[in-house]
Amino acid sequence: MRIEIEGQVVYFIPENEREVQELDRLWKILTVCEGENRRIQPMGIFTPGATEAAQFFIEGVKPAVSSEKTIRYVCMTCNRMEEHPAGQAPICCGQPMIPMD
């Protein structure tokens, strides 16, 4: 996958059929018919030559529904609150959210 940056616009250019399918899958996850689209936030550290890949977290994707106990988490940067199953701390503003319960 080739990546090009022009100002504030990032282009992801697939170079084979598998990358076309993965980019289509990402596009469908990020775009929402109603309301705001989801955002991608950087996660961890990317150092060229030292790390294998850059990681990003997609904000707003709800985990699969389960019968597990949920815990309320808060982002200490933006004060956003979300409920998720115990042990699955979500990422917000590039860092893990803090459990409140």
pLDDT at 86: 77
Q: What is the DSSP letter of 31?
A: -
pLDDT at 93: 86
My answer on whether 74 and 49 are in the same domain is no
In a domain, 40, yes or no: yes
Domain holding 36, by residue range, is: 2-58
pLDDT at 10: 93
In a domain, 63, yes or no: no
* Mean pLDDT value of segment 73-95: 84
In a domain, 22, yes or no: yes
In a domain, 65, yes or no: no
In a domain, 14, yes or no: yes
- b vs e for 42-68, b when ≥16 Cβ sit within 10 Å of the residue's Cβ? eeeeeeeeeeeeeebbebeeeeeeeee
For 20-78, the pLDDT digits (tens) are 999 999 988 888 777 778 888 898 889 999 988 998 988 877 766 656 678 888 888 88
pLDDT at 5: 94
My answer on whether 51 and 75 are in the same domain is no
Of 21 and 92, the structure prediction assigns the larger pLDDT to 21
My answer on whether 23 and 47 are in the same domain is yes
pLDDT at 68: 67
Domain count across the chain: 2
Coil vs helix vs strand at 28: helix
